[in-house]
Amino acid sequence: MKAAAVIVAAGRGLRAGGGVPKQYRSIGGKPMLRWSIEAMRTCPDIERIVVVIGEAEKAEGRGAAAGLDGVEWVIGAPARTGSVRAGLEALASGEAPSAVLIHDAARPGLTAAMASKLCAVLDRVQATAPALVVADALKATDSDGVVQADVSRAGLRRVQTPQAFHFAPLLRAFRALDGVKTFDDDLEIARAAGMTTQLIEGDAALMKVTTEDDFAQVERFLTGGAMIPCVGTGFDAHRFGPGDHVTLCGVRIDHDKGLVGHSDADAAWHALTDAILGAIGDGDIGDHFPPTDPRWRGADSELFLRHAAELAAKAGGRLVHVDVTVICESPRVKPNREAMRRRTADVLGLPLARVSVKATTTEKLGFLGRSEGLAAQAAATVLLPA
């Protein structure tokens, strides 16, 4: 049976490092989306691959598939059903396939063998998908968690993707949708249209990546856990000069002096940028943003930090924790600490709990004690393929 694949990568969930959606984040050294494209490409039953992406992520999409030819790109819709429809219509506009596998990019654990197995089932039924038995006991509760009923798990399955269908009846079912009713998955649409459906045994590695912890788990499935934590450190100091504020971790803090520097003199983010570069062994901030380059005069240090995070992602790394210490007698850092953490977490796409900002003094000792300037040191932990 001539089959095609629609990979849905148009979701905007779980914003991550470098400000990209999760399907472009690195897992085991590759963007998440690339795992599914590669699996579909190596499946001998799949002849066309359509990837549905968000309007704003054309560059990320193509980047994720760099060097892989034969991928067709389609812009998705705000809701998943619309995105799938767009993928199906793209297939229909060419030489329509007999079957289609619809897959979520958030499930990178796909294998070519699974895709082949699903195609084979379509010789017997019109729709199929991998599914797992439910091992846990099931309870129905109210919104407070008070149990209202015991639910039998007998015969229940957790359905994964790819979901595979005979193409023509599925396209008809999608075209007939009224746009009002919502569906949990494509199988529900197929069944509502009367298509015969049989599930096959799923694969734990096909888990959907939803939470931050899922990244680590799916990485273990895909790479055998071969990621090692690399810790980088950074240090920076800037001299006080005329001015009415300083900028630390992107937060403006009123002060009776300013900081002298080529850029915005954000010593905290400069130290952190160096820490991330240190973790991936990629030089220092001065290599990437030379102070002699007029482009960086007065620059917002967010640019430097984002660039370091992007280099870490390109190296196949996953930034998991940062810790910044500001060293000065004044201004007072503590009242601004939470704002500094939040800004840093936002820029790096880290949960707040993985971002630490601290402050200390040198007990009036040395240049920092004499308030000639302020300094910052930082550590960053990046998981890198072993």
The residue among 106, 91, 86 whose CA lies nearest residue 4 is 91
CB of 261 to Mg ion, least distance (A): 6
Query: DSSP states of 112-142 as a string?
Result: HHHHHHHHHHTTT-SEEEEEEE--S-EEEE-
Q: Provide the β-strand partners of residue 130.
A: 200
Assign 46 to helix, strand or coil: strand
Give the N- to C-terminal CA distance of the chain in Å, as an integer: 40
To the nearest whole angstrom, how small is the minimum distance from the Cβ of residue 372 to Mg ion?
15
Least gap, CB of 285 to Mg ion (angstroms): 7
What three-state secondary structure class fits 3?
Answer: strand
Q: Which of residues 14-43 bind Mg ion (CB under 5 A)?
A: none
Q: If binding is defined by CB under 5 A, does position 107 make contact with Mg ion?
A: no
Where do we find the tokens 């060097």? 67
Name residues contacting Mg ion, limited to 322-341 (CB under 5 A). Answer: none
Distance CA(286)–CA(263), nearest Å, equals 12
Binding mask 243-282 for Mg ion (x = CB under 5 A): ---------------------------x------------
How long a stretch of residues is the chain?
386
In this complex, which beta carbon is closest to Mg ion, that of residue 119 or of residue 285? 285
Q: Which is nearer to Mg ion, 257 or 270 (CB)?
A: 270
Spell out where 16-115 has E strands.
Answer: 26-27, 30-31, 46-53, 71-75, 99-104
Q: Does 236 bind Mg ion (CB under 5 A)?
A: yes
Q: Is the peptide bond preceding residue 331 cis, with omega within 30 degrees of 0?
A: yes
If the CB atoms of residues 34 and 270 are measured against Mg ion, the closer one turns out to be 270
Binding segment (CB under 5 A) for Mg ion, from list 87-95, 214-222, 230-238, 335-343: 230-238
Closest approach of Mg ion to the CB of residue 2, in Å:
59
- For Mg ion, the closer of residues 23 and 301 by Cβ is 301
Task: Kindly determine how many residues on this chain lie close enough to bind Mg ion according to the rule CB under 5 A.
Answer: 2
Q: How far is the CB of 262 from Mg ion (least distance, A)?
A: 8
Give the nearest residue (CB) to Mg ion. 270
Amino acid symbol at 128? T
Q: Which of these ranges, 60-68, 127-135, 198-206, 229-237, lies near Mg ion under the rule CB under 5 A?
A: 229-237
60 binds Mg ion (CB under 5 A): no
Please, what is the minimum distance in Å from the beta carbon of residue 265 to Mg ion? 6
Exposure string for 315-335, b = 16+ CB within 10 A, e = fewer? bbbbbbbbbbbbbbeebebee
Q: Which residues of the chain form contacts with Mg ion (CB under 5 A)?
A: 236, 270
